[in-house]
Amino acid sequence: MPRTRAAKLGWVLLGVLLLATVAGCRDFWKTPTPTPTSTPAPDIPQEVVTALYAALDHLRLAHTGQAPPEDVRWSGLNTTPPLVTGVQSYEFEANGWRMAIHALLITGDASIYEITLTNPETTFRWTSKLTADYALLESNLDVAADVVVVRDIVLSHVKARYSDQAPAHGLTWIGKRTTPEGSVGQESCQFTANAWTMKVAYQLARADQVSYRVELRSLSNQFIWRGIVDPQGKVKEVRALR
């Protein structure tokens, strides 16, 4: 009698094992549930990607050691607002670095690229412009946008009054902040292009109260110009040596 019960119990256990095996096989052969995939970012035109890397190459040449590492991987996004024509906007990010590129259509398919590279963690800020062939038009490291405007105002003024000695049109100006460390309440910047140097100094104040002291000097023809640009953009000439 005990042997009969043991035999029955054995058959019951065997049946349970067979059912479990069949159920497991059914689960094994089920079609896997697809894993959701992220929507890929819109394609970035190749010419814009080329502008990104060309800008970084220019930065490395103009300001050694300031550019992001060469091996970082950039991700990009088209940020052009709807219905906007004549300009395309893109943003890129890599390891905390952020680059904005505005492609301004000038003629046909040719564009000028306006570029801003920042790193919020280090307060780094660099702006530049590239031609349609990716040649550098200008480069500004930690230079306020208002100072770039002052530079152009002075260049136009000097060209109008001293055309034979003024800087030639189309020079590539390289600008950088030159404020001494620890300086409080004042800023200074310097721009260079070939044999030309422009220095700009100003007090930190509200935009409508800032006047800019400017000196433009040439090492080739000994031309020196000094003046002040007031908050309204008017130029007061202090001295011009020819």
Domain boundary among 142, 169, 195: 142
Position 37 in a domain = no
Cα torsion 117, 120, 121, 124: sign? positive
Considering the domain architecture, whether residues 47 and 138 belong to the same structural domain is answered as: yes
Considering the domain architecture, whether residues 177 and 225 belong to the same structural domain is answered as: yes
Residue position matching structure tokens 């990104």: 52
- Alpha-carbon gap, residue 130 to 132, rounded angstroms: 7
Position 29 in a domain = no
For residue 144, pLDDT beyond 80: yes
Considering the domain architecture, whether residues 148 and 229 belong to the same structural domain is answered as: yes
Position 33 in a domain = no
- pLDDT > 70 in the chain, percent: 81
Domain boundary among 88, 119, 142: 142
The two structure tokens encoding residue 3? 């042997």
233: left (phi over 0), alpha (psi -120 to 50) or beta: left
Residue position matching structure tokens 């230079």: 143
The two structure tokens encoding residue 118? 């920042």
Per-residue model confidence as pLDDT tens digits over 174-198: 999 999 988 889 999 999 999 999 9
Position 53 in a domain = yes
Count up the domains in the chain and report the number: 2
Residue position matching structure tokens 């070939």: 194
Considering the domain architecture, whether residues 130 and 149 belong to the same structural domain is answered as: no
* Residue 95 neighbours by CB under 8 Å, 6+ apart: 68, 69, 72
pLDDT mean over 139-155: 95
Per-residue model confidence as pLDDT tens digits over 73-114: 999 999 999 888 889 999 999 999 999 999 998 776 678 999
Contact (CB, 8 A) for 75 and 92: yes
Per-residue model confidence as pLDDT tens digits over 121-143: 888 999 999 999 999 999 999 99
Position 28 in a domain = no
Position 2 in a domain = no
Return the bridge partners of 114, or none. 102, 129
The two structure tokens encoding residue 110? 């040719």
Position 119 in a domain = yes
Considering the domain architecture, whether residues 53 and 109 belong to the same structural domain is answered as: yes
Domain boundary among 142, 171, 187: 142
Q: Where is 215: in which H helix or E strand?
A: strand 212-218
Considering the domain architecture, whether residues 155 and 174 belong to the same structural domain is answered as: yes
- Alpha-carbon gap, residue 83 to 77, rounded angstroms: 17
Q: In angstroms, what CA-CA distances link 172 with 58, 75, 81, 84, 191?
A: 12, 29, 31, 30, 10
Domain that holds residue 130: 42-142
Position 36 in a domain = no
Considering the domain architecture, whether residues 208 and 130 belong to the same structural domain is answered as: no
